[in-house]
Chains A and B, each alone.
Chain A
Amino acid sequence: MSNHAVPRPRFTAPDPERGSPEGGPKAALKIETTAPLLQGKVSELPDAVFGWTMRLCGLGVIALLGLIVYQLVIGSQLSWHAFGWKFFALSDWNPVEDQYGALPFIFGTLVSSFLALLIAVPLAVGVAVFITEMCPTRLKGILSFTTELLAAIPSVIYGLWAIFVLIPIMRLYVEPFLGKTLGWTGLFAGPAYGYSVLAAGVILAIMIIPIISSITREVLTVVPQHQREAALALGATRWEMIRVGVLRNARAGIVGAVILGLGRALGETMAVTMVIGNRADIAKSLFAFGYSMASVLANEFSEATGDLYLSALIEIGLALFLVTIVVNALARLMVWSVTRGQPAKSMA
């Protein structure tokens, strides 16, 4: 005890006195290095080792990203040289003749994801608003727990449920109904098999609702209480208070949450693969079979025989990776802008 305590004050005391007259830092440094402090020398090495090990782990996270990019870029070289940018514009996917175009998969991914957003966003925001603004406190915990529970279900189980419950419902009730009422638009035309881009959109919506609503909830709770009180004090009804005081302030964060949900939907593999029908077509009707970027990887990667085939698949993976990276980075920045700093400035 006294060994530790005594030398230190004596050792640091000269610093300010000697430092001021001439060449301050140098003089101080000399004393530090020549001071015969055994404890200091012994404890410095483990500290440095530990510090650098932890830094290495941090670096590891960045290295991981580098590794992913490296693997994907190297793997897709062959296909990139064979097709170039045309790869993303060709709609021909023919492993037998070594012709590869990714357009049908990009189309399927985009359509099913946007469909999912269309269904999920109003529901998720509604749930978040209900939980933060209207819900009795006792119900709050239960509700947020159950919505979180939805997020814990593995995607393959969603897929299993979709095959045996959702698909029959879509085939027997939803699709015939939509075909009858909205068939003239061309979006809901053709035979109803159940397996379809529409079904993929619905199951994706169910899967991304928890993510969107939990982040939206996070954002809404950050909106300062005085915004709500101010709106109410001006005579607003509860809905007006929510619209003007809460939703408007949290707008950027909600958009971020939605984009985060989009990122999840774009990369979702198993459930989509199990219901989308897996045919590389571009059809106008949502009842038609489709294919998504993640699904084609899931179905064909382990069976890809030729080098070019494998390379084309990896290039699809690279494209998927880049899109989700951009989408996620964007979403994170938007959520951070609300939850980290002050509430976003309302613009109108």
Chain B
Amino acid sequence: MDSGSNSEAVFIPAIGWRRWATDHLMTGLSVLTVVIVLVPLFAIFTYLVYKGIGSINLAFLTQTPKPVGEPGGGMANAIAGSAVILGIASLLGVPVGIGAGIFLSEYGRNRYGDVVRFVSDVLNGVPSIVIGIVAYGLVVMRQKHFSALAGGVALAIMMIPTIARTTEQMLLLVPHAIREAALGLGVSRWRTTLSITLRTATSGVITGVMLAFARVAGETAPLLFTAFGNQFWNWKLDQPTAALSLQIYTYALSPFDDWHRQAWAGSLVLIVLIVSAVAAVRIVVRRGRLAGA
């Protein structure tokens, strides 16, 4: 010990200087990476808000697109179309996703469950445009035309694995004692799962659903050849339907300044819708849980 502290007094300053420099250099570099990463984030958000707010007006929210070259008009039909497509997707995807999640946590603690778990993780990584091809083959080819239904199917396929995994994780957080208590009172297993386990995990499950929803809400690629887009109002599920993201894409690539302006406005609406949907559900869930507790 003595000799150690002795040699330290002699040696460390020399080596220590270099080590000190490396340490501080790496600290500085990692701070720098944070700055570099945050710059585009702020650039995107400020630019989006700045451009978007200047372009949103009543006409944008209430009118359908004007013919090419004519200024004015709006994206009302696209906003409604997005709502319809997302509604179909949620209707198809949420029950199956939650069911798969229940399976994974309550029945899937085995080999078969591991396979399902792995497959859903892998499905999460399938490019959205490939999902679009599948929905095209499943729905569009049969119906012979593009439709809101096809778009909804594509988005539903994307939602299922995400919801399954988050639901599973949320259900696993519910303590086993609660399940055992219910079963011990003679409550049947399905009732225990639905009214006790799922009920306890409700807020987490809903948050997971909302995250999946937010993820598919801005999807464009799978809608390109399923929902296809539409310049007019359409409420029929088997007809081509406009979607906000599709409209943004079309307008962004157009040569008209007015359409560019509307693309920004559309983007802002899309972001606000996504964020507020997630926030609203969180608030409602939190309040509901407090009232119940």
Contacts and interface: CB of A to CB of B under 8 A. Distances in A.
A321 B252 contact: no
B217 A266 contact: no
Interface stretch (B22-30, B69-77, B83-91): B22-30
Nearest to B187: A43
Interface stretch (A65-73, A177-185, A226-234): A65-73
Interface string B78-104: 000000000000000000111110111
B127 A320 contact: yes
A266 B160 contact: no
A164 interface: yes
Contact of B267 (A47, A160, A264): A160
B274 A61 contact: no
B257 to A, nearest CB: 11
Interface residues of B, number: 91
Interface stretch (B38-46, B55-63, B174-182, B281-289): B38-46
Contacts of B191: 46
A314 interface: yes
A80 interface: no
A150 B116 contact: no
B35 to A, nearest CB: 10
A154 B270 contact: yes
Contact of B137 (A49, A71, A242, A297): A71
Interface residues of A, number: 88
A124 B36 CA distance: 10
Contacts of A61: 100, 116, 119-120, 123, 160-161, 164
A146 B47 contact: no
Given A51-B190, A65-B119, A301-B133, A153 B218 contact: yes
Interface of A: 4-5, 39, 43, 46-47, 49-51, 53-62, 64-65, 67-68, 71-72, 74-75, 122-127, 129-131, 134, 143, 146-147, 149-150, 152-161, 163-165, 206, 209, 213, 237-240, 242, 260, 263-264, 266-270, 274, 294, 297-298, 301-302, 314, 317, 320-321, 324-325, 327-329, 331-332
